[in-house]
Structure 1
Amino acid sequence: MAVTTEPIIVSTSLPTIHLDLLRAENDSESKKLLGACRNQGFFYLDLTSDPELCKLWEGMLARMKHYFDQSLEVKMQDARGSDNYGYIPVGTEAGSKPNSKDGYETLKFSRREFLKGSSDLTTSIRSESDYFFSWIKEANTITLMVLSRLSTQLGLKGSSRFEVDHADLEPSLSTLVLLHYPKHDEVTSSSNVGHLKHTDVSSLTFLLVEQWGLQFLSPESKRWEFLAPKPGHAIVNVGDYLRFRSGDELSSIVHRVIPLKEMQEEDRYSIAYFFRPNDDASFNDSTGKRWTVKEWHDFKFDVFRSPDTLDAKGQFLTGMMEEEKRVVTREGITS
């Protein structure tokens, strides 16, 4: 199955923001951060000033490889039928090509599990929960700091600051997602391909990845461009909530995952922390419709599973970034 005939185009426009400078509240770096979130919607975050953080990344990668190497029968013991915790097998959602299914399996840890101090898993990975909870703590702290720098640069005060909708002890659907894209072989069907184009159900997404496959629809070139993985660097992007909450000041950009070639020739692993607002926070979408964060989250995940039924033109998956504006309701989509 041919996945793409497009030429391999690598983005050269993505800026690099330095974690140590953000932590030091460096004004120039914070201005650079705002520019990246306004213009590209994505940026590299240089973590190399924090070797312990990079070591934690390595440890998580080793543990998740061991987990995904287990039989499907064992992994399914961790299936919870949830979008926020537990195991989900390959092929649960639509794939990146028509009439295909997705090409990844996931293991998810919710921030709610972290806050209560225990995982809802049952297999041996449960004993490793504290390791992944450590990353939730680090990623949550970093993304909250990024929100604070953006609020300050935009001149937001008091209750208008982005952090207000991310109160630590209020319910939220923030989630750590471990993703494995199995290589195509006699076990994994080549009809299971990548991750379909979408924008993220988050305020910010904090991604660790060492292999190729992530593309974004560049707002500058208007074409699909691969984002090169960089050692010691996370890739961070703006999600739907920040775009709507900022009145389109910040950019939630359409992206997807596909193999570099026609087949997935190697196992691909990525670690994503989806930093989300409190469940009852609300916003207006591009049509002016009011949503709570939980309503948006739940409906959009339904769309991931049934895009042809709920979102035939991909308008909802792409966060209303398509040129044709359509009105979205909980029941479906109407012109």
Structure 2
Amino acid sequence: MSEAFRSETALLNGEEVEIAPLVVIDLYKLIEGDRTEAQRLLESCENDGFFYLNLQGPHPSSKILNDQDALLEVMRNYFAQPEEVKEEDNIESMTDGFKPVGKFAGVKRNSRDCYETLRVSYKNVIEKSASMPPTVATHLPLFHDFVSTSHFITQTILTRLSDAMDLEGLARFENSHRSERSSTTTLVLLHYPENYDNANSGHNKHTDIQLLSPVKKSRSWLWVQPRPGHAVINVGDSLRFLSGKRFKSCLHRVFPTTDGYQTESRYSIAYFLRPESTAEFEDTEGRAVSAKAWHDEKYVVYTQPHHKQDLSTMLTGGMERILSN
């Protein structure tokens, strides 16, 4: 199914909200090398920077939908543990371990975030590192399958984008994301716990560091509606920079729809495919910077209070400035 999802509004907790009109890209067609679908993929990255990816179809990667359900159950059990148990997995790493609620800036001015995460790097899963959290080690076959399939899917997207742009050699996107090279590629499990405080909410507006949610367009926030059997894919800063800023990196945030109150626990799974650590590109300020340096600098910006974030274009990857013009 390769059509735009055309619903315009929806009732969400009694409030009418505008739905982001995402294009639907078919993974099976990309795997099969369909040139028309690759062109549609390219156009969606150039025009919007985000799209639905239909994961259903007669291909082995569709197994990720079943793995997703199993992983969600693991997440529920993990995040239900006492805080002191989860803190044992907090190793202050940018790519692995537990992140507690409140580490980053929140959506509201002078607030902190209201979500916790468990991060598992591609490297540690593939190499079966002994330093993985007990929950990951216990369910390693599941994590390995999910990470491997996510990696294949995102690499397929890169390959088809390179094909559609007629890129060759080292200019091809997949050649900046070689699996055997060191990178900060990470699987992130996110939990937005029930919260009636309203002081701290959600995840502040930002663009993502990696390759490839509500999206800012036409100066208003739109709701990205979850769709069964589909993933929401967005272009991150790195791919935008590697494309010579030809692609859009979508500005998005996570925020409860009920006056800032999180009335029930929410869970999401994100796979961040990032370039090799030594890959270089030109950033928003015209600097030549490595992928690792950009990742580490932006991670620090996430932790800063809003008045410090305002001094840099890094949080939004320069996209807020572009959208305001």
- Is TM-score (shorter-chain normalized) higher than 0.5? yes
Aligned residue for 1:252? 249
Q: Distance in 2 between matches of 1:129 and 1:23?
A: 26
Could you give the per-residue CA deviations for residues 93-149 of structure 1, whole angstroms, max 9, x where no partner exists? 110111111010000100110231235234344311331121110001110110010
Pick the aligned partner of 1:280 from 275, 278, 281. 278
Cα deviations by residue, 1:207-252 (Å, 9 ceiling, x for unpaired): xxxxxxx41112xx33110100001110000000111111221110
Deviation at 1:10, TM superposition (A): 2.8
User: Quick check: 1:74–1:123 contact (8 Å CA) kept in 2?
Assistant: no
Unaligned runs of 5+ in 1: 1-6, 205-213, 326-335
Deviation at 1:201, TM superposition (A): 0.6
Alignment match, 2:239: 242
Whole-angstrom CA distance in 2 between matches of 1:119 and 1:108: 15
Deviation at 1:316, TM superposition (A): 1.5
State how far apart, in whole Å, the 2-side matches of 1:52 and 1:277 are.
25
1:329 aligns with none
The answer on 1:147 being equivalent to 2:158 is: yes
- Give how far 1:314 is off: 5.5
**2-structure distance, mates of 1:305, 1:42:** 25
1:26-45 equivalence runs, <5 A? 26-45=34-53
SS at match of 1:58: helix
For structure 2, list consecutive stretches of 5 or more residues without a partner in the other structure. Answer: 1-14
Q: How far did 1:73 drift? A: 1.1
Q: How far is the alpha carbon of 1:309 from its aligned partner? A: 5.9
Match of 1:233 among 226, 230, 235: 230
CA distance change for structure 1 residues 8 and 259 in 2, over 3 Å: closer, same or farther? farther
Shift of 1:286: 3.0
Matched residue SS, 2:19: coil
Partner of 2:55: 47
Displacement after TM superposition at 1:310 (Å): 4.2
Q: Distance in 2 between matches of 1:124 and 1:92?
A: 22
Given the alignment of the two structures, is residue 67 of structure 1 paired with residue 85 of structure 2, yes or no?
A: no
Residues 1:215 and 2:226 are matched in the alignment: no
Amino acid in structure 1 at the alignment position of 2:48: Q
CA distance in 1, matches of 2:90, 2:20: 39
Figure out how many residues of one structure are paired with residues of the other and give that number: 305
- Aligned 8 A contact 2:110 2:306 in 1: no
CA, structure 1 residues 246+8, in 2 after alignment: closer, same or farther (shift >3 Å)? farther
What SS does the aligned partner of 1:272 have?
Answer: strand
Greater than 4 Å deviation, 4+ residue runs:
none
| Equivalent-residue separation in structure 2 for 1:96 and 1:132 (angstroms) | 31
The match for 1:295 is 293
Amino acid at match of 2:150: A
Q: 2:168 aligns with which of 147, 157, 164?
A: 157
Partner of 1:22: 30
In 2: Cα distance, 1:113 partner to 1:302 partner? 22
Structure 1 Cα separation of the partners of residues 20 and 313 of structure 2? 28
What's the TM-score, normalizing by structure 1? 0.87
Amino acid at match of 2:69: E
1:138 and 1:324, CA in 2 relative to 1: closer, same or farther beyond 3 A? closer
Percent identity between matched residues is 39
Alignment pair present for 1:315 and 2:323? no
* One-letter amino acid of the structure 2 residue matched with residue 172 of structure 1: S
- Correspondence for 2:129: 118
Q: CA deviation at 1:296?
A: 0.4
Which amino acid counterpart does residue 252 of structure 1 have in structure 2?
A: S
Please report how far the alpha carbon of residue 322 of structure 1 lies from its aligned counterpart in structure 2 after TM superposition.
Answer: 3.1
Which residue in 2 is equivalent to 1:265? 263
Q: Please list the CA deviations of residues 248-296 of structure 1 after superposition, one character each: whole Å capped at 9, or x if unmatched.
A: 2111011000001111111110000000000000001133211001110
- Alignment TM-score, normalising by the size of structure 2: 0.89
Between stretches 263-272 and 305-314, larger displacement belongs to 305-314
Q: Is the 8 A contact 2:107 2:255 kept in 1?
A: yes
Residues 309 and 290 of structure 1, relative CA distance in 2, 3 Å threshold: farther
Q: C-alpha root-mean-square deviation of aligned residues, in Å? A: 1.8
Give the aligned residue type for 2:46: R
Alignment of 1:67-216 (within 5 A): 67-118=78-129, 120-185=131-196, 189-204=197-212, 214-216=213-215
CA distance 1:12–1:69, change in 2 (3 Å)? same
2:136 and 2:321 map into 1 onto residues whose CA distance is: 44
Whether the 8 Å contact between 1:34 and 1:150 is mirrored in structure 2 is: yes
Q: 1:119 to 1:176 in 2, by over 3 A?
A: farther
